[in-house]
Structure 1
Amino acid sequence: MSDMTELPQQESSDQTEAEDMTGLLEEVLREFAELGPDADPLRVELVTSEILGEWWEAGDDLAAELIAFAAAPPEPERLVAPLAALRALATTAEHREAAAEALEKLDLPEPPWAEGLGQAPVGECWRTADVYGDGGSVLCVFGTGESRHGLLVAINYATQGGWAEEAAIVESPEEVVAELHTQAEQSGDLVICESITPGRAHQILADAFAGTERQDDPEVTDDYVRFRVVAMARTRALPEREPAAPAQVLSAVQEAEIIDDFIRGSGIPDSEVTRVCALRLIEFGLEHDPRQPLRVGPDKLVAFLDAVDDGSVELTDEQDEALEAVLPAWARWGANRDGLPEHAVEPLLEAVDERLSERIVEIESISYLDDTDGLDEAAVTDLLARRRFAVPSVYTEIGDEEVELDPTDPEQRRLLVLGEHPEFQHSLTEEELDEETFLAVAAYTAVVDQLWDNEPREVWEAAQRLSERGLPRSEVLDALAEVLSDRLEPVEGDGLEFDIDDYIAALTELD
């Protein structure tokens, strides 16, 4: 019988994943072993929080893996320390109970620090909040003597009913309290800083952490990831939470009454489009700010526009365009309704106007950046600057009507040029167009086309030189068009031609 060579078997993906997980768990066990039996409980809490945070950020659940591993551990004594930490610090009651059961089954001595986890006594608590209700922070002091520390959490109330976006354990809570008071004093009454009960702090923090955990991919800081576990444990250690205000529920009749009040109070024209926009604002408030659905704040209204842009809030094109008038009116009406001080209204309206302006630029930029494949960031920036110089806006007025045009279409781009020059429009309506106007229109539209396509590139180079001298855009275009117009020659039919080399030479000398 001939010898047979056996092919090596491929490891299954499940086997590989199991080996990878065992390696990761081994690393965790080493980190806990390095703490030693006499470690300070706070240090153990911080190390545990950092380890669990790394796994949480990666989308893995270390607590579940360790508890499962404890069912048949090869070296049970090495699991005592991490299980003791999980019993006190795991973020779910299920995992804390499972860790406690696993420890009981191991029936091994625990490190001395185990009973000190989560036992830091609670001290004073402070809260800051902006006048709009968009954001704030909570500081709770824990511990005594050298172990005294604070939990500082920053909370965003623009969406999700409020959510924690940053959390940190701070070593000198007294200094942080002083900083919070200073920030409030320097805010011009736009920020308050006040002492709150631990029960109130518990309610605010628990709701904020729940808001973060509801999100699939929350935008949190590195400190949040690092301190998340110990921050939640400190929150659970606070006295029983005080009751929060209930979420509001509005009937269709109540929503209609609010819209009526908005239209009367703001003076905005009453139309179906306006009413739908207002209804969407109410619905957004009920979803993301259920306790104060009609509250207006810069961050909340900007978040509403972001939701419109990403499709979470659905509007027709006509309704979307109406937001430019509706949203500032809603902000002003809401500010009056909420009793915001006048010096807080201006920043609110400025934030809304700025975001609306950014939207216009973003929407228009789509038309300007239709052929940017293969270009790096610098090239795209230059292309956008050049095309915006050639065609500053996709909106123009032809006759008495304002129209939106597509600058990528040469014919519509020509209309945008004519829209900037009413004198051309008047001449073009005449039965016979004089030669001077004909050449001027041809030169202007050609220069704009050349800038749009960057051919020849010397046109944009000349435009940049003239702009750097301080000439306004209109004068720069006049100069460029004059250089071309002087070289245009009629050909058979209605066409025109020019010597490209002569034209480029003249552009190079233009300064």
Structure 2
Amino acid sequence: MSSRSRRHPPGDSARDGRPPSDEVSAIFDDMLRHARELLAVRSPLDAELIVSEILGSWWGHRIGEGEVEEVIGEALVDHAGRAGTPAALALLTGISYLGTTRQQAKAERAALALMDRGVARPGWADRVGAVAHEECYVSRDVYGDQDSIICTYTYGGEERHALVVLVDRNKAAPAGDGDAPACGMVRDAWVSSQVGKLLDHCRREGRTNPLMRFEQLDPRDTRAVLQRALAFTNETVDPPVNDNFGSYHAFLRARVRALPPGGRTPLPEPYGRDRRAKIAVSFLASDEAEELSDRSAALRCVDRIIDYGCAHDFGRPLRVSPIKCEMFLLDWLPRKVLLSPTEQEAVPHVLAAWVRWAGRQTGLPEEGVRATLDAIWDATTKFAEAYRDPSAFGLERELVDRLLPDGELEALPRRAFALPFLSGKHRLSGRHGSIDLSTLDPADPDDRRVMLEFEHPGATAEHLDAHERLTERLWNGDPPQLWETAQALLDVGYERHEILHKLIDVLDRCGADSAELVKSLRVLRHEAPPE
């Protein structure tokens, strides 16, 4: 479906089989009119791409807690079954191959019912989905930033075509629930019938361009990688995909399923504390680091570089590239890390030395090292503008350091919310009994308890215990949804103390059930503003 035909996704009134509203029916009728194109094509490939385009018209949208792809897709199947036209049967035939598992089952039943009534089938119906995979390749840059994965297919030896999938490996999902993290995000996909020319171009570029590589892949491993990368894209809110990606999403999903199972995704290498320390020591002892004057600041900076590569680059601390270095300097550091003034000045120089050293360790071509260094120097001025030391906003450095002993800059607002002692009326000063309040360490649980007693004079031990449990969770960001909910309630007009008690109520009610806690916080975030 063309971009001018795309609409906001209809509601889910048809999910339980009830006829949709007139507005929703009009949208589905528009899709069925578009499906008439299926009656004019002869190629199953063309038919699949048209159906994928129709299914992609609502890809990426959400309806409350429901998945639009399921809700609207199944409602469209019901609508097509009621329409009973040849175009509706053609659309159902395509959905029976390209849809989700539930959509496929419903579409197949509806299509069989129309065939029993004598509705004419399109000529390509017997061949749709009857594809066989051939070979898989990857054209990748030497930096490891992105892969163009190429999978070739035929319909019984005819209509050879290639699916090209762009996987951004700078976008790596963190592991969760014991699963391996995604090794990239699918950001684009397209189809080419000029398979020979495409492969010849990639082979030639791999031979002549020192910054590109072209290799053949195991189809089983290709399926595993693409499934995880596509799942990461699907799970990301507003993923940075190409504008036309939705049109290819259903086709891509089906072609990935056509690859053989049994493959494995690469796992990140383990980098424990000792191994990270050895890497840092090796770097600081190298010729590349010899000119770094402040060794203490250099050590702290290189620790951040290594941590970023391990935690946010799929366990690849030695990988360097222009894009990765720009993301580190202009995105991650300004949002995540509290740097001292000497570290702010040193970090571009340490990063440049690291690029030269790590490039030598990994065999990065000299052209790649030079391009990465150029990117660092281009970003250095922008880094000075992007990095905002909290002390520049009137917050005393000593107080900021007390709230951020771990240097986690993004923790500052939630910790200041939990222990609001940075501004005048909340400032920790004077004495509380025999305790000098200005010496209390908010990172120490015992000292936090004293602060809470200071904020809640005369409160019972049980009441203080509840506040202490909440404060500890906010301090640690456990779970992240806790602070997200507090911000949402602040935005609609709730006072801080009201919010604290709402959060305490949720924590007490959910106990150790983390899934229920996240669900309850989601509900609380949408609470109406106070009167």
TM-score normalised over the length of structure 2: 0.58
**Structure 2 SS opposite 1:290:** coil
**Structure 2 SS opposite 1:221:** coil
Shift of 1:238: 1.2
Q: In the superposition, relative to structure 1, how do residues 86 and 14 fare at CA in structure 2: closer, same or farther (>3 Å)?
A: closer
Q: In the superposition, relative to structure 1, how do residues 291 and 18 fare at CA in structure 2: closer, same or farther (>3 Å)?
A: farther
Moved more, 74-83 or 202-211: 74-83
* Letter paired with 1:77: G
* Distance of 2:80 and 2:247 partners within structure 1: 28
* Letter paired with 2:38: L
Give 1:162-181 correspondences, 5 Å limit: 162-181=184-203
* Distance of 1:263 and 1:94 partners within structure 2: 57
**Map of 1:277 onto structure 2:** 301
Q: In the superposition, relative to structure 1, how do residues 219 and 335 fare at CA in structure 2: closer, same or farther (>3 Å)?
A: same
The equivalent position to 1:77 in structure 2, one of 84, 88, 102, is 84
* Distance of 1:336 and 1:96 partners within structure 2: 52
**Map of 1:205 onto structure 2:** 226
Shift of 1:55: 1.4
Q: Does 1:35 align with 2:38?
A: yes
Percent sequence identity is 28
Moved more, 139-148 or 120-129: 139-148
**Map of 2:96 onto structure 1:** 87
* Distance of 2:110 and 2:295 partners within structure 1: 65
Q: In the superposition, relative to structure 1, how do residues 98 and 322 fare at CA in structure 2: closer, same or farther (>3 Å)?
A: farther
Q: Does 1:158 align with 2:170?
A: yes
Moved more, 161-170 or 198-207: 198-207
**Map of 2:339 onto structure 1:** 316
Shift of 1:208: 3.1
**Structure 1 SS opposite 2:56:** helix
Shift of 1:107: 7.9
Q: In the superposition, relative to structure 1, how do residues 283 and 69 fare at CA in structure 2: closer, same or farther (>3 Å)?
A: same
Q: In the superposition, relative to structure 1, how do residues 275 and 100 fare at CA in structure 2: closer, same or farther (>3 Å)?
A: farther
* Deviation per residue, 1:247-298 (Å, 9 max, x gap): 3333333333333333223334565543443333333323333253432222
Q: In the superposition, relative to structure 1, how do residues 149 and 269 fare at CA in structure 2: closer, same or farther (>3 Å)?
A: same
Q: Does 1:48 align with 2:51?
A: yes
Q: Which has the larger radius of gyration?
A: 1
The equivalent position to 1:256 in structure 2, one of 274, 277, 300, is 277
Q: In the superposition, relative to structure 1, how do residues 22 and 218 fare at CA in structure 2: closer, same or farther (>3 Å)?
A: same
Checking the alignment, whether the CA contact within 8 Å between 2:334 and 2:387 is kept in structure 1 is no
Shift of 1:175: 0.8
Shift of 1:237: 0.6
Checking the alignment, whether the CA contact within 8 Å between 2:270 and 2:315 is kept in structure 1 is no
Q: Does 1:346 align with 2:367?
A: no
**Map of 1:215 onto structure 2:** 236
Ranges in structure 2 where 5+ consecutive residues have no aligned partner: 1-10, 14-19, 173-182, 389-531
Q: In the superposition, relative to structure 1, how do residues 176 and 162 fare at CA in structure 2: closer, same or farther (>3 Å)?
A: same
Q: Does 1:142 align with 2:153?
A: yes
Q: In the superposition, relative to structure 1, how do residues 150 and 263 fare at CA in structure 2: closer, same or farther (>3 Å)?
A: same
The equivalent position to 2:325 in structure 1, one of 301, 310, 318, is 301
**Map of 2:129 onto structure 1:** 118
Q: In the superposition, relative to structure 1, how do residues 298 and 69 fare at CA in structure 2: closer, same or farther (>3 Å)?
A: closer
**Map of 2:478 onto structure 1:** none
Shift of 1:57: 5.1
Shift of 1:98: 5.1
* Letter paired with 1:135: Q
Shift of 1:63: 4.5
Shift of 1:32: 2.3
* Distance of 2:12 and 2:353 partners within structure 1: 59
* Letter paired with 2:170: A
Moved more, 224-233 or 173-182: 224-233
Q: In the superposition, relative to structure 1, how do residues 114 and 287 fare at CA in structure 2: closer, same or farther (>3 Å)?
A: farther
Q: In the superposition, relative to structure 1, how do residues 309 and 105 fare at CA in structure 2: closer, same or farther (>3 Å)?
A: farther
* Deviation per residue, 1:410-435 (Å, 9 max, x gap): xxxxxxxxxxxxxxxxxxxxxxxxxx
Checking the alignment, whether the CA contact within 8 Å between 1:77 and 1:108 is kept in structure 2 is no
Give 1:286-435 correspondences, 5 Å limit: 286-308=310-332, 311=335, 313-316=336-339, 318=341, 319-360=343-384
Checking the alignment, whether the CA contact within 8 Å between 2:80 and 2:89 is kept in structure 1 is no
Moved more, 231-240 or 261-270: 261-270
Q: Does 1:237 align with 2:246?
A: no
* Distance of 2:276 and 2:105 partners within structure 1: 46
* Deviation per residue, 1:123-175 (Å, 9 max, x gap): 23221112221222121221156622111122222222322222110121111
* Letter paired with 2:195: P
* Distance of 2:385 and 2:304 partners within structure 1: 23
Checking the alignment, whether the CA contact within 8 Å between 1:163 and 1:208 is kept in structure 2 is yes
* Deviation per residue, 1:361-390 (Å, 9 max, x gap): 6679xxxxxxxxxxxxxxxxxxxxxxxxxx
* Letter paired with 1:53: G
* Deviation per residue, 1:89-113 (Å, 9 max, x gap): 12x4454445456657878578354
* Letter paired with 2:144: G
Shift of 1:177: 0.9
Equivalent pairs, count: 349
* Distance of 2:241 and 2:41 partners within structure 1: 33
* Distance of 1:288 and 1:18 partners within structure 2: 46
Checking the alignment, whether the CA contact within 8 Å between 2:141 and 2:213 is kept in structure 1 is yes
* Distance of 1:73 and 1:49 partners within structure 2: 16
* Letter paired with 2:339: T
The equivalent position to 2:72 in structure 1, one of 65, 68, 83, is 65
**Structure 1 SS opposite 2:331:** helix
* Distance of 2:363 and 2:206 partners within structure 1: 19
* Letter paired with 2:250: V
**Structure 2 SS opposite 1:143:** strand
* Distance of 1:195 and 1:65 partners within structure 2: 38
**Structure 2 SS opposite 1:218:** coil
Moved more, 56-65 or 329-338: 56-65
Checking the alignment, whether the CA contact within 8 Å between 1:263 and 1:269 is kept in structure 2 is no
**Structure 2 SS opposite 1:64:** helix
**Structure 1 SS opposite 2:171:** coil
Q: In the superposition, relative to structure 1, how do residues 81 and 282 fare at CA in structure 2: closer, same or farther (>3 Å)?
A: farther
* Distance of 1:14 and 1:157 partners within structure 2: 35
